Chain A
Amino acid sequence: MQVVSPVREPLVTGKKTYHDVTNDICGRVEEKPSKSWLLAMAVSLTALAAGGWALGETLWEGIGMWGLNRTVGWAWDITNFVWWVGIGHAGTLISAILLLFRQKWRMSINRAAEAMTIFAVICAAMFPIVHMGRPWLGFYWALPLPNTFGSLWVNFHSPLLWDVFAISTYFSVSLVFWYMGLIPDFATIRDRAKGISKVIYGALSFGWDGAARTWSRYETVSLILAGLATPLVLSVHTIVSFDFATSVIPGWHTTIFPPYFVAGAIFSGFAMVMTLMLVTRKVYKLEDYITIKHIELMNIIVMVTGSIVGVAYITELFMAWYSGVEYEQYAFLNRTSGPYAWAYAMMMTCNVVSPQLFWFKKIRTSITASFVLSIVVNVGMWFERFVIIVTSLHRDYLPSSWAMFHPTLYDIGVYLFTFGFFFTAFFLFAKFFPVINIAEIKSILKSDSEKTATVKTVAENVNE
C-alpha cells in the first residue's frame, strides 16, 4: 500500500496527467528553435570561435603563449581543469547518490545535471591535454601503450597517471549512465515523431519497447550503475586532489585535500546546476517540474557543502600554524596577506560568507537571489583553485626566483573556448534531447503530484 504523507509537498505541481508530461517535455524537442535559443547559440558559437583562435595559436606556437614562467608552471590551465571537473561532480551526485538515498526530487534535474557533467568533464580534460604542449604524442605519455623505447611504460605510482584513469573512467561511466536514462525517453519521442526524426530517435532509442521484463532489468542496471558511480565520483576528485596532496610543495602537501576537494566539487557543481536550471526552467516554462521546493533543496546543499569548505579553509590555516613548519606557515601567511591576498579574500567571501545567506528562507526561495549566488559561488570556486595553485608556487624556496603570474590573452582565450564549448553543447542538448527524465517523472506522478493527492483525499473521505 502506498502511504502518502499529508505533510509532504507534491514534487510535480500543476495537476499534470501522464500525457501532459509527455507533451511538456517532448514538445520542446519537436517545436522549431525559438529566437532566444538561436540568439543563445549565436553567442556561445562566437565564444567558441574566438576561443578556438586562442587555442589554435596555443597549439601552433606552444604553451609559451600562456603566462607561465619558471616559478609558476601551473596556473590558469590547471585551475580551469580542477574547476570544470568539480562542476561535473554535481551531475553524478544528483543522479547516483540521491538515487541511492531515494531522494525523488532529483528526478526533475538529474537529466540536465548529467549532461552538464559530461560537457564539463570534456572541458576539463582539454586543459591537461593542451598543457602537454605536444598533445599528438599524449597517447604515449598518458596511456600504457607499447612504444619505441623497448616499452618504457607509464608510471603507475604517479597521481597524474591515476588522474588519466580516473577522468576517463568517470567520463565513460557518466556517459553510459546518462544514455541509459535517455533510452526510454527517446522511445517516447520516436513514437510521436514522423519522417526523418522517427528514424533518428528510433536508432537512438535502441528499439526500446517498455516491456515489463526490460524495465525490470533496466531498474537493476540503473541501481548498480548508481552504486558504481557513487564511489567513482568520490574517487575522481580525491585523485584530482592527490595531484597536489602527494607532492612536497607547502600549501599542497595536506591530508585534508581529498574530502575538502570533494565538498568543494559538490558545492560548485550544484551552483552550476542552479544557474543552468533556472534559465532552462524560465525559457521552457518548466515551473511545475522544477518548483521552488527543488530550488530550496539545492540551495540547502550549497549551504551545507559551502560550510564544509569553510571549515576546511580554517582547518588548513590552523594546521599550518600548529605544524610548526616554517615553510608551511609562510605559504599560508603569504596566501592570506601576500600579493595574492585579494584572491584569497575573494575566495573567502564568495565561498564561505555568501552561502551562509541561505540560512534565510526568503533568500533560499528567491529565484533572483539563487541565480546571483549560484554565479558568485562559481566565481569563488575558481578563485579557490587559483589560490591553491598559484599562491603555493609563486614564492618558492629561493627568494631570487619568486615571481608573479600574469595571464595572457591566450590564457583567457582558451578558458573562453571551454565556455563556448560547454554552452554550445548544453544548448544543443536542451533543444534536441528531453531535458527532464520523462519516464522517471511519470513514475512519481501518482504518489507525488498535486492531482493524485487531492483525488486520494476525496476517495478516502468517500470510503469513510
Chain B
Amino acid sequence: MTAALELSGLRKSFGKTEIIRGVDLAIGQNERHAIIGPNGAGKSTLFNLITGRFPQTSGHIRLHGQDLAGKAPYEINRMGLSRSFQITNIFPKMTVFENVRCSLLWSMGYKYNFWSMVSKSRALTDGADQILEQINLTARRDLPAGVLSYAEQRALEIGITIAGGADVIMLDEPTAGMSHSETDYIVDLIRKVTENKTLIMVEHDMGVVFGLADQISVLVYGEIIATGRPEDVRANSKVQEAYLGEALEAEH
C-alpha cells in the first residue's frame, strides 16, 4: 500500500541557511501523525513545503504516490490535502456559515461557476450545516466569523479544513494559545472529524500529542531524529536529550 504522504530527501534552504536538512518520512493511510520539536526546528517550514506554500530546494513530496513538485496550493488541495494554519486563517467578514460553504464549493464541483445561485443549492446549504453541527457552531451560524471567540475561530478553521472532504488533513498547532478546557474541546473535535482520515499535525502541547497521535516524529534542526509510536519516542534517549525531557518537564 502506498503511503498517504511520503517525503524523501527533502531539503529547503533560505539563502545559505538550510532549514530542512534531508527529511525522509512515510505517513500511512488513516494514521494520526504528530510532528514535534523545539522552536525553530523547521516544523512550520515542513508544513509549508508539503502544502506548496513555497518550493523545496531538493527532494520529493508524494501524496498518494503522486509527486507534488511544482504544484500550487490550490492544485494540491484538489488532490485531497487540506491544511489549517498556526495563526487563525479564516474569512473574518463572512458569516460562519459562508466560511464553511466557501470551503465546500470546489469539492462539490462548482468550480468557477457563474450561472447558478449558491443559496438555491440544497446540497451546499445542508452540507455546510452538517459541518457546523460537527464543529458545534450551529448557534453561531449567521455571525461574522471575526466576532467569534478564539477557540470558536480555531474550531471553524478546522471545520473549513475538513469541509472539502480531503483525506489528508494537516493541522498546524491546533491548540496554540488555548486554555485547558478549550484544548480538551478541540482535541475531541479533532478526533471526531479526522476519523478514517490521515492526520498530520504540529503541536507543542505534549498532552495533546500523546493523547491523539498513533505515530510521532521528532524534528530537530531540520532533521528527523526519531519516528515511532508514542511510548517508543518517549523512551528514546536521543529524543530525551534533544527535546522531550525539557518539554515534558515544562508540562509539569
Q: Do A and B come from one complex?
A: no
The interface of chain B, by Cβ under 8 A from chain A, is none
